Structure formats: structure tokens, C-alpha cells
Structure 1
Amino acid sequence: MLKKMAALCALAVAFAVVPSTPATADGYTVKIPTATHIKVVVAEPGKPIVLEVSASANYPTPPAGNIAVTVSASGSAARGARALVAKPVFSTTVHFVDKPVRVTGPRLPKGSYLARAALTPDDAALFLPSSDSTRFRIGAAAGGDDGDDNGGALPNTGGPDLLWLLLGAGLVAAGAGSISLGRRRVAAAA
């Protein structure tokens, strides 16, 4: 017991002699990630394209800043990477504060396009920059042969794939039943 008391006294003296330093921040300020959003509002043949851009962050006030908007021609998915470096067919910069900004572009011929928005925040010490892109087509039928897109519903939902869903559910039920039956037999034998 005497050894424990001596060790406790030595520890108390060590804390009294060596001043403890309080924990302080190192001056590192966390930058808040942002998310840029771009949406194609109008993309019809013979009409100017209309895009809507905005930004958000996990912060009480949205990040204000300049949003650079570019639209470039985009072919197939294989050429999509080249479209990012291709010369844009339309380019502009808008200032975003807290409400989505509509950008009206030129009339474009039929084809595939890539729209890109990149945010440069006004308060770069608090917010990180971000970007977003979306692909769209002008002059393509949206839904099927009749051009009707069913109000955005998926085509052929519940078609032949329903058979695979039912088959999978039946296999899961059969597996669960065989495991349950196997456990009953083991419990009865013991």
C-alpha cells in the first residue's frame, strides 16, 4: 500500500512541476464543400435553350459567387471526354446569390450536347468551388415511337423483368424454407 501512495505522490508532484498547456486550435479553418446544380429547362428544336443554375452548401446561407456556364457539342459516350475540352458552342458567366438563375442560350441544331456549370465562390476562404454537368439532346423523341414520354414514367415497367423478380423471390423463399427445415431436423436429432 505504501508503494501505491508513493507512486500517487510522485505523479501529483510531476503534474505540479510540469505546467500543462491547454489545447488550442491550430488556426485551420475548414472549407465547406459546395454543390453546383444545372438543369435543362427548354431544349427543343427552333427554340433557344434555357438552363437553370444554382449552388448549395451545408451552411445557413447558400454560397454566393460566379457560375460559369458552358454548352458544348457532345457525341457518343466515347467522345464525351473530348467534349469537355472541345470548343463550347455557348458560354456565359452569371452571378448567383440565393435564388436559381435562368440562363437563355442560342438556338441549337439537332444533336447531343453537354451543359456544364462551375461555381467560383465569392468567399473562397469559407467555400470550396464545385461543378456539375448534364447531357441533353435536341430533336430526339423523348419516349418511344409516338414521342410521348408518359409523364416521365419508365417505359416497359413491370414487363418481362417481372418474371425475373418473381423467380428470384421464389428462390429466396425456397432457400429460407430449406434452412428452416434443416435446423428443425438437427434440433430433433439432438
Structure 2
Amino acid sequence: MTHIKVVTAVPGKPVVLEVSASANYKTPPEGDIAVSLSAASGTARAARAVVAAPLFSTTVHFVDQPVRVTGPVVPRGRYLATAALTPDDGAFFLPSDARTAFRVGVAGETGGQEDGANGGLPNTGGPDVWWLVLGAGLVGAGAAGVGYSRRRQVGLPA
């Protein structure tokens, strides 16, 4: 199985991807991983045209540790990164591929401040936790109310 992960995707800096491969076996597969970066499109016809002409493509050799690939500096927008493994031992491991879609500079802006190593996603998931706690409390209160209303009344005439 081929893996691809976006490490850095910030406007004005090169896109950094990390590619690797794994198998359900004691030793990981070795081989060449073809990496490409394309602009994403919302329509099927435009998507085929974009994949035919990627913005960046390279091939790296994977042995045992994830390989970092530094791509070009891209403007704000949506992008698609793909990785395709061609194993050295084709009789033992099958080829595989992976893709991931990501955005550059569309969300998570900090007003020009440096984002650090978080890839442009400051405060992700902060206040949403309180909605989860509130929802769990309401479900618990509803379950308690149903349990209380269905209890047996002992000693009352029927």
C-alpha cells in the first residue's frame, strides 16, 4: 500500500510531501514511487486535462523510511498529489497508488503571521469540543429521563 502525506502547504513556500509504502509482511516493499502534483478541478472533464499535465512530477526510490519530496511553490488553490509504487520485486509485491487532495492558503489564515509547523491549520477543533460535550450531556439526560419514566411502580393498584 502506498502512502502520501502533505507535510507543508503554505502560500509562498514549496509544497513538501512525504511518501512511503507498506505491506502486510515483515519487510516493507522496495521500489520506485512516482510522485506528481496537479491543480484540482471540480469537473470531470477538467480533472482529466489537469492530470494529463501535472504541475510537478518526480520519481524517488523507497527502501524502508518515508521519503520527503519538495515540490514547487504554488499559489492559493486546491491541489491533488498522487504517488504510485512500482516494486522492485514485482513477483512478490503488487504495484499500488495513493492520492490526497489539499488546499493551499484557502483556510486557516493568521493575518500574515508565521504558521509554524502546523501546515496552516491554527486552532483546528478548538471550540467544537464543547458542542460534543453538550451533545453527550443531552443524550445522557434523555436516557435518564426515559429510564425514570419507565420504572415500575410497586404497591399501586392497577
TM-score (norm 1): 0.64
What's the offset of the Cα at 1:98? 0.6
Q: Number of residue pairs matched? A: 147
Amino acid at match of 1:47: K
Q: Secondary structure at the match of 1:127?
A: coil
Aligned CA distance change for structure 1 residues 94 and 148 (closer, same or farther; 3 Å): closer
Aligned CA distance change for structure 1 residues 47 and 126 (closer, same or farther; 3 Å): same
Q: Secondary structure at the match of 2:75?
A: coil
What's the offset of the Cα at 1:80? 7.2
Q: Which residue of 1 aligns with 2:61?
A: 95
- Note the 1:72-87 alignment, pairs <5 A: 72-75=38-41, 78-79=42-43, 82-83=46-47, 86=50, 87=53
> Aligned to 2:16, which of 32, 50, 53?
50
- Note the 1:123-162 alignment, pairs <5 A: 123-142=89-108, 149-150=122-123, 153-162=124-133
Point out the structure with the larger strand share.
Answer: 2
Equivalent residues of 1:83, 1:114 under 8 A apart: no
> Aligned to 2:4, which of 32, 38, 50?
38
4+ residue stretches of structure 1 with deviation over 6 A?
143-148
Distance 2:127 2:110 in 1: 10
Structure 1: tracts of 5 or more residues without a match: 1-34
Point out the structure with the larger helix share.
Answer: 1
Higher gyration radius (CA): 1
Identity fraction in percent: 52
What's the offset of the Cα at 1:63? 0.5
Aligned CA distance change for structure 1 residues 169 and 99 (closer, same or farther; 3 Å): same
Amino acid at match of 2:43: R
> Aligned to 1:171, which of 122, 135, 142?
142
Aligned CA distance change for structure 1 residues 101 and 158 (closer, same or farther; 3 Å): closer
Q: Secondary structure at the match of 2:129?
A: coil
Structure 2: tracts of 5 or more residues without a match: 114-119
Distance 1:173 1:124 in 2: 59
Q: Which residue of 2 aligns with 1:104?
A: 70
Q: Which has the higher contact order (CA 8 A, sep 6+)?
A: 2
Distance 2:136 2:45 in 1: 36
Distance 1:51 1:141 in 2: 19
Amino acid at match of 2:145: A
Deviates more, 1:36-45 or 1:96-105: 36-45
Q: Which residue of 2 aligns with 1:59?
A: 25
